[in-house]
Each structure stands twice: as C-alpha cells, then as structure tokens.
Amino acid sequence: MKSIKDLNITGKTVFIRCDFNVPKDEDGNITDDRRIRGALPTIRYCLDRDCKVILASHYERPEAGVYEDKYSLAPIVQRLQTLLKLATEITLANDVVGKNAKKKAAALQSGEVLVLENLRYEAGETQNDIILAKELASMVDIYINDAFGACHRAHASIDAMARLFDKEHKAAGFLLGKEVNFFEKTLEKPMRPFIAVVGGSKVGTKLEALNELINKVDKIIIGGGMAFTFLKAQGLEVGNSLVEDHLLNEAKKIMDKAKEEKVKFYLPVDVVIAPEFTDKCIAKYVPAQEIPKGWMGLDIGPASSRLFREVLNDAQTIIWNGPMGVYEMDKYAKGSTKMSHNIADTHATTIVGGGDTADVALRAGDVDEMTFVSTGGGASLNLIEGKKLPGIEALKA
C-alpha cells in the first residue's frame, strides 16, 4: 500500500475519502471531533502542495435520495474551517455527483477545499456501484483513502473508486497509514505480557476476534454484556442479563481453547445488577455467582475492577475493545471508567479500538494517557481477526 508521500500530487486535484462520521448530541453539536482532526495532516499536506482538494465522507445512514438537514455534512464543514484556519472558505456541494458538485469541482482553485455532500445520499455508495465510482473519479486526478473507520466496507468510494486508479495515482493518507501500521506491528511483535480486554454487548460480532486473540495474547479479560454468555456457559445463573444462548457452545469452546493455549481467561467476579434496563431503579452489587432470577447485570462490580487491575499490572501491551457495562448511563459507567484508568495507569503500550471504547476513555479523561486510540471500531476488529480490509486491498490492487 502506497502512502500519499510516494505520489506526485503537486498542483493536482485530489479526492480524499475521509471518515467524518462523528458523534453528535441531541442538539446536533459534535461531541468528539477526533475523526475530523485525524484527517487534517493529509488535507494540509495536499494544500501545501497547491492541490485542489475534494473531501468526501458518509455520515450515519440516511435514506438514499432523501436530503435531510440532520444528515448533511454542513456542521463538519464548519468544524473543518475552524481547525484548518484557511483564509479561503471551504465550500460544501449540495449533492454528491450532481450538477452542483460538478460545477463547484470545476471552479475549484489551487489551495481550495470542496466537500461533497453525504456519500450515502447516493444509493450506489453502499452498493459499491461502479457508475457512482466513475462519476466521483471523473472529478479528480488522485485518489487518497484516509477513512480507516470505513475501510472494512466494500462501498463505492472505498472499493470501486480506488480500483479505477493505477498505483501512481492512489494511496493511503497519513491517518490510514498510521492506524494500519500500529495494529499490524502490535499484533506481529507485541511486547509481552500481551493482554486483551474485550467488552461490549455482542459476543457474536467479536467471536472471530476472540478466537484469533487467543492465539496471540497471554491473558484475556472479558467484561460488558458479553461476559454473561461466558458465565452462563460455565453453568452460572445470570437472570435476565444479556445472553446469546445460541453461542453458549462457542463460548465454552473459546474458554477450552484458552486453557489449551495456557492463556489466562478472566471473567467478572462481581456485577452491578438491576431489575430493569434503566438507571431509574435500585441497583446493587452481587458476586457473579449470586445473580437472582429476574435481575440483570449491567456493569462489572468493584471486586472485578480490583482483580482486573492486578491482572493488568505486568502488561507490556494492551488491546482494549468494548465497554465493561452500560456506560451510557452514569449508574453503570463505573466499571468502564475504572477499566480506562487501570489501562491508562500501566506502563504498557495501550491500544483502544472502537467508537464506544474511545468514548469511555474520553469521558474518563484518559485519552492522552493511551498510546493509540483508533478511529475505527469494526475496521480494527477485522484487523485483529486477520481479515483483509476491502479499502486496503483496493489500494494495493
């Protein structure tokens, strides 16, 4: 995979596929702009070389063809304008490859930036449509992918479009290069002990990653909703906690494999339980072996936090993906916050992957203490699983 530095881009029109899919609050304010900041080095590199820069990204999941304000990239453009501190105004096209975008692209001058509207307003984006890819490609000389968070999806702006350019005219941006390098290097030659901390709600989506991690790590810590599938697979009563019953066997196999590979496998020893999935009710701590019928586990308890802290003590490398509880509700956020502090406090190389997990680290004030916070959840999981990412394959083709 080439880096943007390997290409001759001076004075050219450059398309940069970014991942501006940032979280917003109910008032539409951007709550975490790390994905926008992450794209700045590549954008600045192009501007410094007198390029005409066209940026494109998807934002959430609008219905194709329906232009709604809440899915517009307008707030992103505003934030970009502030962060880039450009003398000229960044323009936003009203469409993706329509008349307005084409007209604005044709009028673009060196050192100027044009942002296309939300790529998913075009149905062809998620269908990896070659016609849309050709329309996008027709506006530019160079294709740059800097959207790590979207690289696990074979979409038109990620896959089909990249394949229309030869190797002298396509490359990875700085953010994509950094993300891929970090995961590959860490997974290839980790400093040991190497510990994986995995949480979140679904075992299903993380099964392959867990299977792969067992071959690589020295210890695994499981928390979050997915812990209950493992606890139930051990024969414990888990009440109404989140459980994927069809995966109980798989969970058992993973624990057996860990034993065979001599990987230490840690589950919560106590949990925060509540009778309902809400923070407007009583909650209490119980040992993981004493969850009453009718109650559900929504966070790990204080004894688990202390145990996991001990487990992490000698770590030299830590990969963390998934919160320890329903951290969106303050009442069940302590386990995740403490895990963030515990990881940040180690001397290990720490890699945080996944939007939710990065959000926990941010709320806990630990982002600066982590070695690397990835901008892509699904993409980083796929890299851990050893899967090939469509966006990266298309750059290499």
Whole-number minimum distance, CB 234 to ligand AMP, in Å?
A: 16
Residue 174 labeled ligand binder: no
Largest CA distance in the chain: 68
- What distance in Å separates the CA atoms of residue 324 and residue 354, rounded to the nearest whole number? 13
Does residue 239 touch ligand AMP according to CB under 6 A? no
Whole-number minimum distance, CB 117 to ligand AMP, in Å?
A: 28
- What distance in Å separates the CA atoms of residue 278 and residue 299, rounded to the nearest whole number? 12
Residue 332 labeled ligand binder: no
Binding ligand AMP (rule: CB under 6 A), the pick from 208, 250, 328, 385 is 328
Q: Interacting stretch for ligand AMP, rule CB under 6 A, among 21-29, 43-51, 287-295, 321-329? A: 321-329
Whole-number minimum distance, CB 261 to ligand AMP, in Å?
A: 24
How many residues lie near ligand AMP (CB under 6 A)? 17
Residue 260 labeled ligand binder: no
Distances (CA, A) of 302 to 284, 332, 337, 376: 11, 12, 11, 29
Residue 153 labeled ligand binder: yes
Does residue 322 touch ligand AMP according to CB under 6 A? yes
Q: How many CB atoms sit inside 10 A of residue 68's CB?
A: 10
Binding ligand AMP (rule: CB under 6 A), the pick from 46, 80, 326, 370 is 326
H helix or E strand, kind and range, residue 115: strand 113-115
Binding residues among 207-236 for ligand AMP as defined by CB under 6 A: 224-225
Terminal CA-CA length for the chain: 9
List residues with catalytic annotation: 35, 202, 355, 378
Q: Are 41 and 174 in contact (CB under 8 A)?
A: yes
Binding ligand AMP (rule: CB under 6 A), the pick from 122, 244, 356, 366 is 356
* Total residue count of the chain as it appears in this document: 397
Does residue 242 touch ligand AMP according to CB under 6 A? yes
Whole-number minimum distance, CB 152 to ligand AMP, in Å?
A: 14
Residue 58 labeled ligand binder: yes
Spell out the residues 6+ positions from residue 30 whose beta carbon is closer than 8 angstroms to its own: 22, 23, 24, 36, 75, 76, 79
Q: Which is nearer to ligand AMP, 90 or 203 (CB)?
A: 203
295 residue type, one letter: W
Does residue 200 touch ligand AMP according to CB under 6 A? yes
